[in-house]
C-alpha cells in the first residue's frame, strides 16, 4: 500500500496541470513539477519524427537543451545520457518522449513515487507539450 506522503506529489502535479490547462503555461507547470517534485532541472521534450527515426527537441531546460536530435536506434537514448525516458502518446499513438538527463545532487535516484508523477505528466500534458511552440525554451 502506498505511503500517504508518496501520493502528495502526484496530487500536487495533477492540481498544477489542471490549473495550467492546455495553454502555454503547461510548460512552466511541467518544469516546476520536474524540478520541485521530481528533482530534475535537465530535461527535454521530444517529438518523434518517424521518417528520420529521430527524436526532435521541442522544449527543455538545462542540459536538456544541448541535444536537438536523438536517434531512436536501440540504445541511443541511453547513450544520450538519459536517466529516464517517458513515452508521450497522442490518441494512444507514440508521438514523443520526455527525457530526463540529470537529477539534482541531493536526489540520488528516481523513486516509485517519482515515476508516478512522470506518468501524470505524460498522461495529462503530452499533447499540450508537443503542440507548444519552441518559444518556451
Partner 1 sequence: MTKILLVDDSRTVLLMEQMILAGEPYTFELATNGEEALARATANPPDLVLLDVIMPGLDGFEVCRRLRAHASTRAVPIIMVTTRAEGENVEEGYESGCTDYVAKPIHPEELLAKVRNYAPAREASLG
Does 107 contact partner 1 by CB under 8 A?
yes
Binding part of the chain for partner 1, among 30-38, 59-67, 70-78, 92-100 by CB under 8 A, reads: 30-38
Distance of CA 113 to the CA centre of its chain: 15
User: Can you tell me the distance from the alpha carbon of 6 to that of 132, in angstroms, rounded to the nearest whole number?
Assistant: 30
Q: Which residues contact 41 (CB under 8 A, 6 or more apart)?
A: 34, 35, 61, 62, 102, 104
Residues from 34 through 93 that contact partner 1 (CB under 8 A): 35-39, 41
Q: What's the min distance (Å) between Cβ of 113 and partner 1?
A: 9
Please report the sign of the dihedral spanned by the C-alpha atoms of residue 11, residue 12, residue 18, residue 19.
positive
Q: What's the min distance (Å) between Cβ of 110 and partner 1?
A: 11
Binding site for partner 1 (CB under 8 A): 5, 8-9, 11-13, 15-16, 19, 29, 32-33, 35-39, 41, 104-107
Amino acid at each position: 500500500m502506498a505511503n500517504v506522503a508518496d501520493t502528495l506529489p502526484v496530487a500536487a502535479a495533477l492540481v498544477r496541470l489542471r490549473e495550467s490547462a492546455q495553454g502555454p503555461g503547461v510548460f512552466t507547470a511541467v518544469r516546476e513539477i520536474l524540478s520541485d517534485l521530481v528533482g530534475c532541472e535537465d530535461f527535454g521534450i521530444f517529438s518523434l519524427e518517424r521518417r528520420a527515426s529521430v527524436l526532435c527537441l521541442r522544449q527543455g531546460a538545462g542540459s536538456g537543451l544541448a541535444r536537438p536530435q536523438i536517434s531512436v536506434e536501440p540504445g541511443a537514448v541511453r547513450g544520450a545520457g538519459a536517466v529516464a525516458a517517458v513515452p508521450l502518446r497522442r490518441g494512444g499513438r507514440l508521438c514523443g518522449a520526455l527525457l530526463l538527463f540529470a537529477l539534482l545532487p541531493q536526489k540520488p535516484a528516481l523513486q516509485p513515487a517519482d515515476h508516478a508523477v512522470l506518468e501524470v505528466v505524460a498522461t495529462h500534458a503530452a499533447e499540450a507539450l508537443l503542440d507548444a511552440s519552441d518559444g518556451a525554451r
